[in-house]
Amino acid sequence: MSYMQRITATILTIGDELLIGQVIDTNGAWLGQVLNNIGVWVDKRVVVGDTKDGILGALHEATTSSDIIIITGGLGPTQDDLTKPLLNEYFGGKLILHEPSLEIIKGIFERTHRPILPVNIKQAEVPDVCTVLLNSRGTAPGMQFERDGKLYFSLPGVPFEMKGLTETYVLKAIQQKFALGEVLHRTMTTMGLGESFVAQRIADIEDRLPDSIKLAYLPGHQAVRLRLTEVLEPGASSFIDHYFHQIKERLSEILVTDQDISLPECIASLLLKYNKRVTTAESCTGGYLAAQLTALSGASAYIHGSVVSYDNAVKENLLQVPKEVLDTKGAVSEEVVIQMAKQVRILMGADYSMAVSGILGPDGGTDYKPVGTVWIAVASAHEVVTKLCHFRYDRLHNREATSLQAFNLLRKLIEAENPLPEFPG
């Protein structure tokens, strides 16, 4: 079977702040995902500083290797924003005032009661050889160019604005220009085995995958995600679900979810499904578990409150952990997290609870309880389950690892207490 020629893209993100790590390039990651979803393969993601030579060099290289070039950043009103004049020169145009963009800019300044400056008005200038992409979310219009059958897009670096222009204009222009094959993805998350052990367990299935299906391993600190990707020509039959089911069966005892969602999203889905509520009592994570749950839309249906019991006085006075237990066992102990989980569930009137207490580092560890020691408890009205973890990361990643283990422990308890109904036959 012959497959369609791949349409490839290069993503250029511009800004010195990206090179020095002051700002993380989330634009490139998001663009890579949405392009892949419509059948465009990202050939390269390149970060370039605010220099004319650097941008031109990256642009020339991208032009030789890709069908689509997407540039983000460098469209602001200051002197270090070089993208627009550079593209104007590159495509042989001249800058003209774009009245619809100017009206948007004026409206933004009027609504925020700020005086509009000449540099802000200049943001409405665009090359006369481009198609203007009206930016209703900001002051920098996007631009679309075409040369030798290739599409070029210049978008603002502000993620909110970039996403709006991509969804409104860019994806549609690409789909109209190129014949794209359908791209299907299936993603699962596992916990309990490292990447190499997971790969070893499903090696024979991976060897049987047809050329149209690729398997990617996406390891994290505590979890391993697996993604199957299938590229289909129009009218072709799909086999991705067949192989995805085989892998799920093989990894069933370590499978967390067979959807491309985070663990907090998985927990939220289960709580909504069974009409249950959860709460948290957090010491070392400082509210991080609750923050992840409440970051999701509709969270009020499954979490009404939580307790950050960072100090032992809060554990003792609010969560009724006996002072004797705190003195003899220490705050980082099974006995303490059990009481925290039990009491916060009652206090908040919840069906389930999570409690964590640990030493995330870099200080505070002892020979008996080194940095990375964390106790987790999850509780329902019927059962309390605990787990002792020993993490080896820095403070930030120890917190992330703690949250993943806590969510997974809760997932197991919810699924054990709310089994799927068995259907006859």
Count the neighbouring beta carbons within 10 Å of the beta carbon of residue 379.
Answer: 29
Q: What pairs with residue 388 in β-bridges?
A: 375
Predicted local distance difference test score (pLDDT) of residue 420: 67
Phi, psi for 155 (deg, rounded to 5)? -125, 155
Name the residue with higher pLDDT: 217 or 221.
217
| 39, 7 Cβ separation under 8 angstroms | yes
**Among the three residues 204, 227, 257, which one is the final residue of a domain in this structure?**
257
Decide if pLDDT at 5 tops 80.
Answer: no
Predicted local distance difference test score (pLDDT) of residue 2: 40
Asked whether residue 422 is assigned to any structural domain, the reply reads no
In this structure, are 46 and 153 located in the same domain? yes
Query: Which range marks the domain in which residue 192 is found?
Result: 182-257
In this structure, are 154 and 192 located in the same domain? no
Asked whether residue 405 is assigned to any structural domain, the reply reads yes
Mean pLDDT, the chain, rounded, equals 94
Q: What is the pLDDT of residues 125-143, one digit of tens each?
A: 999 999 999 999 999 999 9
In this structure, are 104 and 211 located in the same domain? no
Asked whether residue 156 is assigned to any structural domain, the reply reads yes
Spatial distance between the Cα atoms of 263 and 129, rounded to a whole number of angstroms = 47
Decide if pLDDT at 161 tops 80.
Answer: yes
Largest CA distance in the chain: 79
- How many domains does the chain contain in total? 3
In this structure, are 333 and 269 located in the same domain? yes
In this structure, are 69 and 119 located in the same domain? yes
In this structure, are 48 and 191 located in the same domain? no
In this structure, are 248 and 282 located in the same domain? no
In this structure, are 326 and 351 located in the same domain? yes
The two beta strands, 182-191 and 95-97, are: unpaired
At 1, is the pLDDT very low, low, confident or very high (cuts 50, 70, 90)? Answer: very low
Spatial distance between the Cα atoms of 199 and 224, rounded to a whole number of angstroms = 10
**In the block, residue with structure tokens 């090179």:** 19
| 339, 317 Cβ separation under 8 angstroms | no
**Among the three residues 177, 197, 223, which one is the final residue of a domain in this structure?**
177
Whole-prediction pTM value?
0.81
Q: What pairs with residue 387 in β-bridges?
A: 376
Decide if pLDDT at 3 tops 70.
Answer: no
Q: Can you give the CATH number for the domain in which 129 is found? A: 3.40.980.10
Asked whether residue 191 is assigned to any structural domain, the reply reads yes
At 17, is the pLDDT very low, low, confident or very high (cuts 50, 70, 90)? Answer: very high
Predicted local distance difference test score (pLDDT) of residue 423: 46
Predicted local distance difference test score (pLDDT) of residue 292: 98
CA atoms within 13 Å, Cβ hemisphere of 187: 13
In this structure, are 97 and 232 located in the same domain? no
In this structure, are 376 and 286 located in the same domain? yes
In this structure, are 172 and 186 located in the same domain? no
In this structure, are 374 and 241 located in the same domain? no
